[in-house]
Amino acid sequence: MHRFVFAAILAFAAFPAIAQQTAGEVYQWTDANGVTHYSQTPPDKGRYEQRLITSAGAAAPSEAEPVAEAENPQCAAARANIAALESEGPVQQDTDGDGVPDSVLNPDQRAAQLALAQAAVKAYCTP
The closest alpha carbon to 88, from 113, 101, 107, 61, belongs to: 107
Q: For residue 57, list its beta bridge partners.
A: 54
Q: For residue 29, list its beta bridge partners.
A: 37
pLDDT by residue, tens only, the chain of 127 residues: 545 444 444 444 444 444 444 456 777 778 777 787 778 788 877 777 877 766 665 555 555 555 556 678 888 888 999 998 998 888 888 888 888 888 898 999 999 999 999 999 998 888 7
Torsions phi, psi of 12, nearest 5? Answer: -70, -35
Handedness of CA 76, 88, 104, 98 (dihedral sign): negative
Give the predicted TM-score (pTM) of the model. 0.45
> What does the pLDDT read at residue 61?
55
CA distances to 19, 36, 65, 98 from 120, in Å: 52, 28, 30, 23
What is the three-state SS of 28-47? Answer: EEECCCCCEEEECCCCCCEC
